[in-house]
Amino acid sequence: MDLAPRGRLFAWAFVVLVAEIVVTLWFVAGTHGWIVPLTEPLTTDFASFYAAGKLALAGTAPLAYDQAAHQAAEWAATEPGVKYQFFFYPPVFLLLAAPLALLPYLVAFGVFEVATLLLYLASLRAILRPDGWRWLVPALGFPAVFWTLGLGQNAFLSAALFAIGTRLLDRRPGLAGLALGGLIFKPHLGVLIPVALLAGRHGRAILGAAVGAGGLIVLSWLLFGTQTWTAFLAAFTGAHGTYEDGRIELAGMITVFAAARLLGVPTAFAYAAQALAGLAAASVVALLFWRRAPLPARAAALIAGTLLAVPVLLLYDLMLLAVAGAWLLAAAHEDRLRKSEIPTLLGGYLMPFMCRPIGLRFSVGIAPLASVAMLVAAARRGLIR
């Protein structure tokens, strides 16, 4: 790519970044009632993490899965009357939430988001290997960054673990497995990892993932007890009702299941469509890993395929598209960027900005299209050389 297009892309990314900062500041002001009076107090998803951490510190970790007790802890951390934020994470996540809860709420929020954002940027830089600092503008301007910050979510951490795990897979497979095993804090994101590692005959990575995930599970069991895990399993088995009955906005979900439900498809058929998408994604990932396709193709396919295989993901989880896109760009360093990949990368970049408004206005879920396009681009890279 010559310098003129690069300059234009940087300029547009800078405009997007500035606009998103302005909008974010506007929403922060609105959340605190500085623009118009609020009819009810507002908070972020981080309140859920912080409240669970407080309960763990108090020696009552199982109550993180008791909605009444957990809501009371959220209100104590923020203010009475805020909308309840669900907590369905395994006790492994309490290993992070509890230390954060030692800090004042806003300080903990800032520490968590800044630290995980820096980890995401560092892992993205390791994939892209850019010159200079200008890559930071599009990396920070990616709209999912602001969904993650605005909602106080943990998508920077999951994106970083995917980036680290895939980056090290061929060179340091044991460490790669440890990073991928860390995704046990959000276990549904690991659905295709066994498929990929088994198909690719990555024995050391499988061992590393087992040690990483198993070690975190054992540590959380030792610290928080069997009762906490029992409470989590009971809450987890009933969690699907939260997403099926409309308590979580379908337009804010990015999965095939949600897209089907937005169109009015019955729940059973929506799950069937999701299962077919997951099977197709798993097949592509398995084929690429079995054939030992170039690492960028395998990594992008694994990440994009994960977004297609999981039935419950929300806007901030589109952070994974940044990592998949970075792998496609990394492939272009060795073999020029293909024309068909330009709309794929652009669409993936803009998707976190477009999908919710379109879902709300037209009841059409378009987010899976970006994941499909990224998966197809990765397959073409890996199978057609």
Would you state the pLDDT for residue 238? 80
Q: Which residues pair with 16 in a beta bridge?
A: none
Question: How confident is the model over 269-304, as pLDDT tens digits?
Answer: 999 999 999 999 999 999 999 999 999 999 999 999
pLDDT for 259: 96
Per-residue pLDDT 10s for the chain (385 aa) are 443 445 566 677 788 788 878 877 766 666 656 555 556 666 789 999 999 999 999 999 999 999 999 999 999 999 898 889 999 999 999 999 999 999 999 999 999 999 999 999 999 999 998 888 888 999 999 999 999 998 899 999 999 999 999 999 999 999 999 999 999 999 999 999 999 999 999 999 999 999 999 999 999 999 999 999 999 999 988 877 777 766 788 999 999 999 999 999 999 999 999 999 999 999 999 999 999 999 999 999 999 999 999 999 999 999 999 999 999 999 887 777 888 888 999 999 999 999 999 999 999 999 999 999 999 999 999 987 6
pLDDT value at residue 4: 42
pLDDT for position 36? 54
C-alpha pair distances (Å), 70 with each of 10, 59, 75, 110, 290: 44, 14, 9, 22, 45
Query: Looking at the DSSP assignment, which residues form a beta bridge with residue 253?
Result: 314
| Boundaries of every domain in the chain | 39-239, 249-385
| Class of residue 362 by CB neighbours under 10 A (exposed 0-12, middle 13-18, buried 19+) | exposed
The pLDDT assigned to 3 comes to: 39
pLDDT of residue 34: 58
